[in-house]
Amino acid sequence: MPITKINIGPVHPSTHGVLRLAVYLDGDTIERVEPHIGFLHRGVEKLAETRMYMQNHPYMEKLDYIAPMAYDEAYVSTVEKALGIEVKERAMYIRVILLELQRIASHLFFVGTIGNDLGQMFTLFMWTYMDRDKVLDLLQEATGSRMFYVNMRLGGLVSDLPPDFEKRTLETLEYIDNRVKEYEAFIEKNPVFHERMKNIGILTPEKAMDLGVTGPVLRASGVQYDVRKNSPYYIYDKLHFEMKILTRGDNFSRYKMRLLEMRESIRLIREAFKMMPEGDALGMPVKLRMPPTKNKEVWISREAPKGELMMYMVADDQKPYRLAIRSPNFVNLSAIVHMSKGLRLADLFATLGTLDLVMGCVDK
Amino acid sequence: MINSIIQSFESMLNSGNILYNIAALLVYAIMIFIMLAVFGYMFGWIERKIIAKAQYRHGPTYVGKYGILQNFADLVKLFAKGSLDLDNADSLLYGTALPILISLTIFVVLILPIFPSIQATNLSFGLLLVLVVVAFMPIMIFLSGFASGNKFADISAQRSILMLLSYEIPLMLVIVAIGLVSKGYNLQSIIAMQSNSYYILLMPIGFFVFFIAMLAEIERPPFDLMEADSELIAGWITDMSPAYYALVLFLDYSKVLMSSLLISILFLGGWLGPQPIPGVAWLIIKAIIIAVIAVIIRATTFRMRIDRILRMGWMILIPLSLINLIITYIVFVG
Amino acid sequence: MKIDRKDLLSRIKSMKESGYSYLVKITAVDYKDHLTALYFIRDISKNKEELLEVDILSSDAWLPTIIKEHTSADWYEREMSEMFDIKIKGRKSGRLLLEKWDGLEGPLRKGFAWGEEYKQM
């Protein structure tokens, strides 16, 4: 049969943004996939070189608009490390709580979109979106904004948590915990879901390492790497949580990984609230002039919801000389080239969906 | 008054004069068309409301009371849009496939016994004719997709033919079992035979197989592979002009009506039911229940993959329908 | 760790054999007089990370490909090549990754200048 080339995207229902895939099909089986990225390229790395440290701050969140808090925190931490600023202890706890809430929100979004990618009529998407909204309500209470928070400041946060935040968060977490069970029942009691997800898009541990995938995708393949465990930052070494590992490395375990991580995040937040000390959590007010830099070259790694987010910065006096961002989505998307051979056309989108892409983060 | 109209209509249909027959048939066909349109409209609204309920939404609320005019507004929008001229399309085939598809659907509903007294024609092989016409529908979809010259439509057309192989045979095998029980393929007598017990009780396996195969036949989820939006955008309707798309929506709803009528006639006793409610109402109620089940399936399930559908057709549906046929033969004939 | 360009490939090979099998990121910095390419490589089981720095001249900017050792280097190399105008030798050139239509070379280099048509915008 001759090879058919079809173009999927840049505007397509299930490419999660402006991604164009040139798919070479042999019948219904995929011969080759060429992702064409860069439609959302905004040159953030170049832009960062022209602005002062804190002027760059709001740009970073626009990269991953599903989990902006992770970028917010990662950038501020990079600057803190470059300037040698200590983070206040209470602020560490609050940051961890907000980051984990953001992780829950991001994973809820993932669970919804996987329903769409498998051709379900938006039901799962609406359910998880509703619950994600509850988490966003919490983040709004804590930061004043629903989507782009710009909440971190050097050494702390822009404001402490509002009163009663703990009570409301714990209530919401209780609710989310129950809902996750419901999703699990709703999704996994459906035999079609198992058929569509199991043993498809398999990444063995060796292949996963070779392709450089990160985060839940890597852990679903059985590789034990979680930045929160392997090189703990903030208070992650004091908190008790498990690094969940699944071994099959197929679409199903990548989906399951997110549900397990949501549970762990809920556990983490509960524990962090118990251990949280009283005190001051406010960071430095935003100023253009910064104290002189101590470290010329810094890089940090963070476990963002999508995977390992690394920021590398060469510090100049008042602005970054060079800011390089290792976005987890970029490398996860690059893996689809090698994962897609021999898949069915319908499975390509299931596999693409389990990589949990945000095109803003891929293109930077 | 209604009774007298029905009686005169009946006498027109049954009179020997061929002109009277043709006139009555035309009137009946127009009636069926209007019924399909009204039902399609109402079903579209019901479907939107049910799916909205499943998704914690309100569904259409703004246009008309309870949003009942929303579909009409959509229709106006679709007809107000410009049309597309396709360069690669075979315009003759592309232009005619969809109208033929719609007339096939109307034809099927035409020969179904909807009213106890009136029927367009009471053929001894009515059920077989229905099956033959229904089997033509995926072929018309194939032609339409193939003729549009779009690659997505082309893949969707290939899928429709592939799927045809998997569900047409179990459908036929169940029909044979029904023919065995009712000693013929006359639709009227099939309903009459169910006055003691509905066929869903006599052959539950057959009902199950027929329901699933019918879902596949009319491309409802989880078998909506031809319109798989996550990979094929809209499949064979990707390049359709808006006015044609409105026809596709009409076709979609009337196919649901057609299949749910067929299922309720074959398995749920058609117009049979406790007396005070007229027979037609019973049939419509049964058909709506079947259609709502299809909607709930649509709201909750994931789409199957083409090779899995083939596997299911050959490994599950055909053995099940054979078992159904054997059991039926042993119990009712042997 | 600073290494020379000609040692890069053998160095990465020997590191991979000793367990550094996960490539985290390849990027570069333009220090005006020279470019520095950075290879972050990690040993996941021992939880160690190594940074290889390769200094190259801006005028003679090329690097050997490490795609044979780390498949994930594919996109990183292409991104770096487009952003810093560094030639990657030893691999198929491939199409442009980031859909760079306007033909601007090396936008992340410090000496990068916008074309006249952009200045009027």
pLDDT band (50, 70, 90) for residue B13: low
3-state class of C106 per DSSP? coil
Closest chain A residue by Cα to residue C35:
A322
Domain presence at residue C115? no
% pLDDT > 90, chain A: 4
Question: CB–CB of A69/A306 below 8 Å?
Answer: no
The residue type found at A163 is P
Query: Rounded to an integer, what is the distance from CA B148 to the centroid of its chain?
Result: 24
Q: Which residues of A touch B304 (CB under 8 A)?
A: 192, 195-196
Show the tokens assigned to A240.
């008790």
3-state class of C24 per DSSP? strand
Domain presence at residue C119? no
Q: What is the mean pLDDT of chain A?
A: 86
Q: Which residues of B touch A23 (CB under 8 A)?
A: none
Interface of A with B in 99-128 (CB under 8 A): 115-123, 126-127
3-state class of C80 per DSSP? helix
Residue A144 has pLDDT above 80, yes or no: yes
How far does A150 lie from chain C, in Å, by closest CA? 26
Read off the pLDDT of residues C32-77 as tens digits, 9 standing for 90 and up: 888 888 888 888 888 888 888 888 888 888 888 888 888 888 888 8
Domain encompassing residue C92: 2-99
Domain count, chain C: 1
**Residue C6 belongs to a domain with what CATH number?**
3.30.460.80
Q: What is the arithmetic mean of pLDDT over C97-106? A: 67
Which CATH code fits A39-363? 1.10.645.10
**pLDDT at residue C100 in the model:** 61
Residue B1 has pLDDT above 60, yes or no: no
**What does each C-alpha distance from A216 to A259, A332, B32, B207, B246 come to in angstroms?**
10, 10, 56, 44, 43
* A vs B: CB pairs below 8 A: 89
Q: What is the arithmetic mean of pLDDT over A143-160? A: 86
Domain presence at residue C106? no
Closest C-alpha among B190, B217, B171 to residue B123: B190
pTM: 0.87
Q: What is the arithmetic mean of pLDDT over C6-32? A: 86
Looking up tokens 């510090």 gives: A315
Residue A295 has pLDDT above 80, yes or no: no
If one counts every other C-beta atom within 10 angstroms of the C-beta of residue B183, the result is 12
Read off the pLDDT of residues B27-44 as tens digits, 9 standing for 90 and up: 888 888 888 888 888 888
Cβ of A310 within 8 Å of Cβ of C99? The answer is no
Read off the pLDDT of residues B139-195 as tens digits, 9 standing for 90 and up: 888 888 888 888 888 888 888 888 888 888 888 888 888 888 888 888 888 888 888
How far does C11 lie from chain A, in Å, by closest CA? 17
Cβ of B306 within 8 Å of Cβ of A28? The answer is yes
**pLDDT at residue B160 in the model:** 85
Residue C38: phi and psi, rounded to 5, are: -120, 130
Residue A169 has pLDDT above 70, yes or no: yes
**pLDDT at residue C93 in the model:** 64
Domain presence at residue C118? no
Write the ipTM. 0.86
Query: Do chain C and A touch: 3 or more Cβ pairs under 8 angstroms?
Result: yes
Show the tokens assigned to C20.
């550094």
Show the tokens assigned to B248.
């596709």
Name the more confident of B84 and C93: B84
How far does B110 lie from chain A, in Å, by closest CA? 32
Question: CB–CB of B230/A346 below 8 Å?
Answer: yes
How far does A62 lie from chain C, in Å, by closest CA? 18
Q: Which residues of A touch C107 (CB under 8 A)?
A: 43, 46
**What does each C-alpha distance from A230 to A80, A210, A303 come to in angstroms?**
21, 19, 10
How far does A235 lie from chain C, in Å, by closest CA? 19
* Cis status of the peptide bond prior to B222, with omega within 30 of 0: yes
pLDDT band (50, 70, 90) for residue A175: very high
Show the tokens assigned to B117.
């007294």
3-state class of C2 per DSSP? strand
How far does A37 lie from chain C, in Å, by closest CA? 5
Eight-state DSSP code of residue C33: S
How far does B302 lie from chain A, in Å, by closest CA? 5
Tell which of C98, C105, C112 to mutate to test the A interface (max A CBs under 10 Å). C98
pLDDT band (50, 70, 90) for residue C101: low
Closest chain C residue by Cα to residue A308:
C24
Cβ of A210 within 8 Å of Cβ of C70? The answer is yes
Residue C118 sits at the chain A interface (C-beta within 8 Å): no
How far is Cα C39 from Cα C13, in angstroms, rounded to an integer?
A: 13
Residue C2 has pLDDT above 80, yes or no: yes
Read off the pLDDT of residues A70-108 as tens digits, 9 standing for 90 and up: 888 899 999 888 888 888 888 889 989 989 999 999 999
Using a CB–CB cut-off of 8 Å, the residues of B that contact A are 51, 54-57, 151-152, 155, 158-159, 221-222, 224-225, 228-231, 233, 298-308
Residue B4 has pLDDT above 80, yes or no: no
Cβ of C24 within 8 Å of Cβ of A363? The answer is no
How far is Cα B130 from Cα B137, in angstroms, rounded to an integer?
A: 11
Domain presence at residue C121? no
Show the tokens assigned to B118.
């009136």
Residue A43 sits at the chain C interface (C-beta within 8 Å): yes
**Any idea how long chain C is?**
121
How far is Cα B175 from Cα B167, in angstroms, rounded to an integer?
A: 13
Q: What is the mean pLDDT of chain B?
A: 83
Closest C-alpha among A295, A299, A296, A319 to residue A309: A299
Closest chain B residue by Cα to residue A130:
B56
3-state class of C26 per DSSP? strand
pLDDT band (50, 70, 90) for residue A286: confident
Closest chain A residue by Cα to residue C41:
A212
Question: CB–CB of B233/B145 below 8 Å?
Answer: no
Domain boundaries, chain A: 39-363
Residue C36 sits at the chain A interface (C-beta within 8 Å): no
Residue A288 has pLDDT above 60, yes or no: yes
Read off the pLDDT of residues B279-291 as tens digits, 9 standing for 90 and up: 778 888 888 888 8
Of A126, A193, A344, the CB nearest to B57: A126
Closest C-alpha among A29, A38, A31, A30 to residue A10: A38
* Cis status of the peptide bond prior to A10, with omega within 30 of 0: yes
Which chains touch B (3+ CB pairs under 8 A)? A
**pLDDT at residue C104 in the model:** 67
* Relative orientation angle of helices B18-54 and B2-14, to the nearest 10 degrees: 130
Who contacts C101 (Cβ-Cβ below 8 Å, separation ≥6)?
none
Residue A169: exposed, middle, or buried by beta-carbon count in 10 A (0-12, 13-18, 19+)? Answer: buried
Q: Tell me, letter by letter, the H, E, C secondary structure of chain A.
A: CCEEEEEECCCCCCCCCCCEEEEEEECCEEEEEEEECCCCCCCHHHHHCCCCHHHHHHHHHCCCCCCHHHHHHHHHHHHHHHHCCCCCHHHHHHHHHHHHHHHHHHHHHHHHHHHHHCCCCCHHHHHHHHHHHHHHHHHHHHHCCCCCCCCEECCEECCCCCCCHHHHHHHHHHHHHHHHHHHHHHHHCCHHHHHHHCCCCCCCHHHHHHHCCCHHHHHHCCCCCCHHHHCCCCCCCCCCCCCCCCCCCCHHHHHHHHHHHHHHHHHHHHHHHHHCCCCCCECCCCCCCCCCCCCCEEEEEEEECCEEEEEEEEECCCCEEEEEEECHHHHHHHCHHHHCCCCEHHHHHHHHHHCCCCHHHHHC
Q: What is the arithmetic mean of pLDDT over C89-104? A: 69
**pLDDT at residue B218 in the model:** 83
Residue A24 sits at the chain C interface (C-beta within 8 Å): no
% pLDDT > 90, chain B: 0
Helix, strand, coil in percent for chain B, rounding step 5: 75, 0, 25
Cβ of A210 within 8 Å of Cβ of C71? The answer is yes
Name the more confident of B273 and B267: B267
